[in-house]
Structure 1
């Protein structure tokens, strides 16, 4: 199958060499130009569905399977995808390539069928790389902030009428979801470090927002994490650019210790970066700050998303967008129009008495940053409801979680959302609550395992002026929605 004719887009690249190469004697992966039909195992995931959506928009035949139907799979069906609920070996018949993520176990019947039939198997990141290779790739990597920064960059490039292809790990209202195919020269993607698969990408330009240990199930040591990011930035060609957040000392350590050949543009809150911010302060809807460039240029900026962390996300966005030729005046004009993405400081309900916000924060640094943003609005109280995510992460970072809730006036901890991990003895939500109690000055810290009981507690303690903030990468957002329904009627 040939791609649609596009003057500004280069021919398709080949699917790259996998970080976790398929076994079983499967033949070499084909070029996308030799492919007509693609099957996705676990198509309902946020990353997989985005790739499937772009391929559908490009005219490919797309099928996929997932354990349950969702709004995501329904949207793919509306675009022409053939979606199956449940896994069956017959689902891969007729596919030229089968795509899976690291979350798909080797024992999956569709994966086994593809291997036995000699159908090429691509990791999700390989297919992402093949799409990105068709255009000038911009990859955003980092432990925190990559979804928001990817979305901000995509939003600015859209408003600049550059029509980028976009693939992001969140729902961005301005592009109608988590992905879109664009006919411009850029492809903006969120790069996933959790399994090292960002090393399959070959971007022309990249942003590194920060580097912290967040996936101890994959990175046994911090040095392995640093080495992965060093390899990533060293892949950027000399003709490209790296935008690096030197506010994070680990990013500086990575870049300074790498073999990076391209120009490096730095950003941070201090004056020693190429792009920095000063005089930042909360506004009624977000945050305002003064952008300062090393060259002496200043520009007043305003965001409609709150917090110091979003100032940093904006600095990375500004630096990258300027590097590809977007005018600073236009950036300053459109950034206030960016309203964020789903589950990143998402207002569920706001009345004259109560404000309920949900956020994806699931790492101690993210929790602390989100709570600081909440405190900046000077509510009556910040009531934090947190659901830890993964046993391995909770075990590795429990004491850090204990120190992350300094800006919360009342804390409720739910049981751990384990995903696919087996429980670890002694690693519980109660252990997280105990760690927080050791770092508080008597403020209430409760462990409540049942989410219905959490709703009841919130209904009994909430007072006019309070901000209720649910946080976590699991399903704790259901608490925010349930309480909002009861308050709002």
Structure 2
């Protein structure tokens, strides 16, 4: 895949008829929807049908299942994601015709021109923080435009073209595309080395965030005061100011640290929610969240800082953030059967797995266990982080480890799920390695008991295992299923190729 370099942005009206390859992906779908809102001719394709694809068709897009060269029609511009290989027949045809080919980040960047842009980056927390900012702005009556890597819980789209002058985007660092966005507000939730198959080294990864934070149009950097990588980023930005080395934005820090500009205090975590105090410069007050974990309190603090800078008053910001109900695949309740709750979560980096399992631990009562179903994602990530994945997964009581979801990568000899399963420390989680995808759900159903919390972990097709676990539990118990938070039927669940690489929590 490699790293992208920013290109000169062209306004959407100058792109002409636009064809989106993998239009059923959550992030790509949001951009295509906004092009439709502008009245532009849109076509697209994906390798299989989905609710996202059908939604575009219902709005007038010419969509196709499968990839064929003739489906480009009269397109002048073709939009691709980093997951699309050069041998894709539609991309190959676009190259042959000499059509304009844009990465999705350039198409999204074109929509930001002339708007007050907010770009939310970070190794973890991007999706949730972006959604919190957007939800609060909508609640405050500002009607922002936005593109989020995961749809709001219960919705079918991650994008909207609003009437307001603010546009909020989830900014993906995995391939360097976060450098493409013309943002006034740059948010960095954390900097935790990842995607080193693209970046090469942890230092290069950190340098990419420095470049993002100090881009020419950035007026303010909203950055964690707690995460070590983010703290180092802040120090690097301040050194840049002292050295007179170029543009430096205003810095607003958030977190638990006593010196944070937006500070979290008095936090308690119980069940699947939390409560704490949040404020800045003597303002602020109590907040509650219906989503679990310290990481979500931090995400809310980042969102609060953005809202404050955009002029939303303290009381409104806290009130609207408290209504946040989650996004798809972020500790999302899929169903409950016979006292067993089954959640689905996008966590795939060791830090995310650890945070999710800590949150799950607060949500089980005495006697209840945490059952983690982990699908390692990407052969390169598993090769680089198998020890850390194993250590994080050890926080569960029962761990079912699936084989690696390779997604866009070719297999690497010796890199399998067994590498992670075998490294989970003795005396921690009881481990079951289940490489057969079809056997994962019945294995989990056989392990789970009343009072347990089951959570599927990974950004690949493990998301389809969660409803299968619910079904298997129902068959085991001969009970009807009580689904609570499932965003879509199983055949509408996002596939690995529909999920944007590097999406955060």
Q: Please confirm whether the aligned pair reaches a TM-score higher than 0.5, indicating the same fold.
A: yes
Indicate which of 277, 287, 294 corresponds to 2:264: 277
Aligned to 1:427, the other structure's residue is in SS state coil
- Tell me, yes or no, if structure 1 residue 408 matches structure 2 residue 387: no
Aligned to 1:232, the other structure's residue is in SS state helix
Indicate which of 214, 226, 236 corresponds to 1:257: 236
Q: CA–CA distance in 2 between the matches of 1:441 and 1:276?
A: 37
Task: Give the match for residue 328 of structure 2.
Answer: 342
Indicate which of 181, 195, 200 corresponds to 1:220: 200
The more displaced of 447-456 and 160-169 is 447-456
Maintained 8 Å contact 1:29/1:122: no
Maintained 8 Å contact 1:170/1:342: yes
- Tell me, yes or no, if structure 1 residue 422 matches structure 2 residue 401: no
Aligned to 1:454, the other structure's residue is in SS state helix
Task: Give the match for residue 241 of structure 1.
Answer: 220
The more displaced of 34-43 and 240-249 is 34-43
Q: Post-superposition shift, 1:317?
A: 0.5
Maintained 8 Å contact 2:340/2:452: yes
Q: Post-superposition shift, 1:131?
A: 0.3
Deviations along 1:340-387, whole A, 9 cap, x unmatched? 000101001235621111101000000000000011123311111100
Task: Compare relative contact order (CA 8 Å, sep 6+) and give the higher one, 1 or 2.
Answer: 2
Q: CA–CA distance in 2 between the matches of 1:285 and 1:193?
A: 29
Maintained 8 Å contact 2:272/2:359: no
- Tell me, yes or no, if structure 1 residue 178 matches structure 2 residue 134: no
Maintained 8 Å contact 1:203/1:236: no
Structure 2 unmatched runs, 5+: 241-246, 481-505
In the TM superposition, structure 1's runs of 4+ consecutive aligned residues that sit over 3 Å from their partners are 28-31, 173-176
Deviations along 1:254-279, whole A, 9 cap, x unmatched? 23224452211001112121112122
Task: Give the match for residue 11 of structure 1.
Answer: none
Maintained 8 Å contact 1:155/1:174: no
Q: CA–CA distance in 2 between the matches of 1:237 and 1:161?
A: 26
- Tell me, yes or no, if structure 1 residue 129 matches structure 2 residue 109: yes
Deviations along 1:171-230, whole A, 9 cap, x unmatched? 114765211110101000001111011111110112111111221221110111111111
Task: Please give the residue correspondences for 1:319-330 in structure 2 after superposition, counting only pairs within 5 Å.
Answer: 319-330=305-316
The more displaced of 362-371 and 103-112 is 103-112
Q: Post-superposition shift, 1:100?
A: 1.2
Indicate which of 272, 285, 304 corresponds to 1:318: 304
TM-score normalised by length of structure 1: 0.90
Q: CA–CA distance in 2 between the matches of 1:471 and 1:447?
A: 14
**Relative to 1, partners in 2 of residues 1:54 and 1:104: Cα closer, same or farther, differing over 3 Å?**
same
Maintained 8 Å contact 1:29/1:120: no
**Relative to 1, partners in 2 of residues 1:20 and 1:262: Cα closer, same or farther, differing over 3 Å?**
closer
- Tell me, yes or no, if structure 1 residue 370 matches structure 2 residue 356: yes
Q: Post-superposition shift, 1:36?
A: 3.1
Q: CA–CA distance in 2 between the matches of 1:29 and 1:275?
A: 34
Structure 1 unmatched runs, 5+: 1-17, 22-27
Task: Give the match for residue 131 of structure 2.
Answer: 151
Deviations along 1:264-317, whole A, 9 cap, x unmatched? 100111212111212211244411111243x23341010010001101100000
Aligned to 2:253, the other structure's residue is in SS state strand
- Tell me, yes or no, if structure 1 residue 469 matches structure 2 residue 455: yes
Deviations along 1:58-100, whole A, 9 cap, x unmatched? 1111001221221110011011110122222222232121111
